[in-house]
Structure 1
Amino acid sequence: MKTTKAHQIALLFNANNIFDHDVIAGIAAYFGSTRVAWDIFMEEDFRLRLSGIEQWQGDGIIANFDDPAVAEALSRCRVPVVAVGGSYADPANYPAGVPYVATDNAKLIELARQHLIDVGLPAFAMFSVPATEENRWARERENTFRSLMEGDRLEAEIFRGCETSVESWDEAVQGQIDWLRNLPKPVGIIAVSDARARQLLQACIIADIEVPEQVAIIGIDNDPLVRRLTRIPLSSVIQGAHEMGGVAAHLMEQMLHGVRPPDTPIVVPPAGLNVHASSQYQLVKHPNVMRARHFIRQYACQGIKTEQVADYVGVSRSSLDANFRQELGCSVHDVILSFKLNAAKAGLESAECSIEDVALGSGLTSVQQMHRVFKRELGCTPRAYRERVLSERGQLSPA
């Protein structure tokens, strides 16, 4: 039987980076759905293998071009190259003669800011990263934020902080706290990445700044690992990185068959929002309710009771319940349960965790209790909820 010779394709991405990881996943999905004959070559961190890449004897390369060193190294390659990276307002920033698949930086910021507007926040700021050649994508996000604020005749408050390292951790956190304390409250903050959003959430908790009543935060990347590392579930804009990987793989397959690539970049919009507690701002006037909800967001899934919340606020249980009923129309227990239920729903919406692990992780203590809560509150079982969500997403339900 005649077989087709497989093409050798190198993927130059850092698999430890969530954006790169999702692009690789998109390439893998294309690879699996089309059954293209490719042999994939990939290092855990491509930057260790840039030297001599122009001498590689393969058939094509798909690479992250956000790092100028990558663009420079691949400019000498004779094999087809497809670039992936951030979008730029200045066309001169795109590599000449290389097909480019870009994430839409402007749309990412527009979506995040509109969400903060929609929840009723009156003031906005941005937490960025220090300016480097590798961070031009962040500059583009800053430029969009600045343009949107100037369009509303408002000053664009942008804080870049410093690069974090073991030696500068304390300094970096203190700088973030000082910046946060000087901002008008309440304020919505767009972090240029989930990693920066997580740092800011941590600074808020250390400084005892209520999230989201005083500071609402939304990141970019929808990184599941970052969400698991935050006490307060993080809202995030979902980049179209998976879709970008599929587009890049399709371009490469066309080039391997002699099709001329497009002369202009293909800009991929964000895939949506994943909204959680960090940005779910709700106007609350009573300071006891504001302080209590901040505590509940951090510890609801650890099995706290109304008495512990009242102790934290420094009032009696009956007084705090009265405050909650007056302000929110429900009890402290109702709010704790609501956070547990939301955590359970988020866990079930992923195919990675077992139902038993979701029950324990959300503070519902057992599958039986979670079953009772879901039937009472949602009218369905946890398994039925998971199957419905995964079916809507076109994913298979786990066994």
Structure 2
Amino acid sequence: MTIPQEGSKFNQRKQVALIIETSNEYARGILRGVRKYIRENSNWSIFIEEYSRDNTSDFTWLKQWDGDGILARIENKRIAKSVNNTGLPIVDLSAFRLLPKIPFVETDDYSIVKLASEHFLERGFRNFAFIGNSRFNWSKNRHHHFCNFTKEFGFPFFDYDLFLSQHDSRIDERDELVKWLLSLPRPIAIMAAYDNIGLQILEACRFAKIAVPEEVAVIGVDNDTLITELSDPPLSSITPNTIKTGYNAALILEQLMNGTEIKQIENLIEPVGIATRQSSDVLAIDDPLVAKALHYIRDNAFNNIKVNDLLKVTPLSRRALEHRFIKYIGRTPHEEITVIKIKKVKELLLETDLTIANIGEIANFSNTEYLSVLFKKETGLTPSEYRKKNKT
């Protein structure tokens, strides 16, 4: 084995360029994940270039840059050409897939939409809409999956594309969106492709005098708290696992720079969960007894309640209550209690370092073994496997 001389390229810190914008929460989360990887595993020298996602940025510096690898959000042909011409190892963090042969790490849009769909279905909605921007692949992916989920249940689906409805005036865009919203059946659940669009929807609802969330419930994606908590009412949003996205991208780039062959090109990261706020926190269920029972479950799911406890707060037989639950939310009362508890377990597995036993106590499972069996039945993974797979 040849031992490299001190000061050689082998011993030097790897020079890595980050071509990732810092103007939005999603991209900043990716950068936090990269930082976490570097602190734990490597000794990189970082070159970060602020850039615009349109075609106006200048990447001529890459021709003179003496680097080892690139992490980039390749969102236009200029970026694609510039990074590809370097001949360096590259990991893409964009859904555009302009360099389809290189590894990419992105959010799992199917899982994001599944969370949104379940969130709305649990609240009893039967009309659904999606508002996106077809300029972006991730928006088109989310539109496709949300449409499919809705049609699978046989519910009406409506959509609106902001890219095709652009105007010279922001006011004209808002007014056109207001007209579209007023044409929809209500109550209706609307998924926004990302939080900025969610903010536009809530603004349009105010101008249209549409009550949120009673008439229109809205959920966004990215959980950009600056936007979600500035909006009126506060916007519910799906939280992508951007830390893991950035971390895994850095890990793959490290492997490429070390000469390892990467066979898995597609790397999709599941979201963390939903931050439920006022914009979607409603029950749109015509049956007041089912709505009352659901409220009771959400208030008491971790107090070891049973189906018999629901019969004390609703004047229905067990069979009648189960029939109504299946009609409105597609699950029995017992299954709904389990779903609420499993969601809590998922949240605690990803957001804390608590032991499985402690998590089981918080979610009020009788014992760890029962929790593990039930969790695997619901997710296909044990709690430990789920944490290892989804938490950096």
TM-score tier after normalising by the smaller chain length: 0.5 to 0.7
**What does the per-residue CA deviation read over 1:322-353, in whole Å, with 9 as the maximum and x for residues that have no partner?**
xxxxx99xxxxxxxxxxxxxxxxxxxxxxxxx
Matched, 1:127 2:131: yes
TM-score for the superposition, normalised by structure 2: 0.66
Which residue in 2 is equivalent to 1:305?
none
- For 1:97, the aligned partner's letter is K
Q: Distance in 1 between matches of 2:213 and 2:190?
A: 10
Q: Distance in 1 between matches of 2:61 and 2:351?
A: 46
Q: Do the aligned residues in 1 keep the contact of 2:124 with 2:285 (CA within 8 Å)? A: no
Which residue in 2 is equivalent to 1:82?
91
- For 1:142, the aligned partner's letter is H
Which residue in 1 is equivalent to 2:20?
13
Q: Distance in 2 between matches of 1:73 and 1:101?
A: 20
Distance 1:43 1:215, change over 3 A: same
SS at 1:279's partner residue?
coil
Q: What does 1:63-212 correspond to in 2, within 5 Å? A: 63-86=72-95, 93=97, 95-129=99-133, 131-132=134-135, 135-162=136-163, 167-212=168-213
SS at 2:93's partner residue?
strand
Which residue in 1 is equivalent to 2:69?
60
Which residue in 1 is equivalent to 2:321?
none
Which residue in 1 is equivalent to 2:324?
none
SS at 1:49's partner residue?
coil
Which residue in 1 is equivalent to 2:352?
393
Aligned match of 1:42 in 43, 48, 71? 48
Give the paired residue count: 286
Q: Do the aligned residues in 2 keep the contact of 1:86 with 1:105 (CA within 8 Å)? A: no
Q: Which runs of 4+ in 1 moved over 6 A?
A: 163-166
Q: Distance in 1 between matches of 2:75 and 2:241?
A: 16
SS at 2:259's partner residue?
coil
Q: Which ranges in structure 1 are unaligned for 5 or more consecutive residues?
A: 88-92, 286-326, 329-388
- For 1:6, the aligned partner's letter is R
Per the TM alignment, residue 55 of structure 1 is displaced from its structure 2 partner at its CA by 4.5
Q: Do the aligned residues in 1 keep the contact of 2:127 with 2:188 (CA within 8 Å)? A: yes
TM-score for the superposition, normalised by structure 1: 0.65
Once the two structures are aligned, what percentage of the paired residues are identical? 27
Per the TM alignment, residue 206 of structure 1 is displaced from its structure 2 partner at its CA by 2.1
RMSD: 3.0
Per the TM alignment, residue 394 of structure 1 is displaced from its structure 2 partner at its CA by 5.6
Q: Do the aligned residues in 1 keep the contact of 2:75 with 2:98 (CA within 8 Å)? A: no
SS at 2:185's partner residue?
coil
Q: Distance in 2 between matches of 1:182 and 1:95?
A: 41
Which residue in 1 is equivalent to 2:33?
26
Distance 1:271 1:94, change over 3 A: farther
Q: Do the aligned residues in 2 keep the contact of 1:54 with 1:77 (CA within 8 Å)? A: yes
Distance 1:56 1:114, change over 3 A: same
Distance 1:28 1:164, change over 3 A: farther
Q: Do the aligned residues in 2 keep the contact of 1:103 with 1:268 (CA within 8 Å)? A: yes
Q: Which stretch of structure 1 is more off in the superposition, 59-68 or 150-159?
A: 150-159
Per the TM alignment, residue 250 of structure 1 is displaced from its structure 2 partner at its CA by 0.5
Q: Distance in 1 between matches of 2:100 and 2:190?
A: 35
Q: Distance in 2 between matches of 1:392 and 1:147?
A: 30
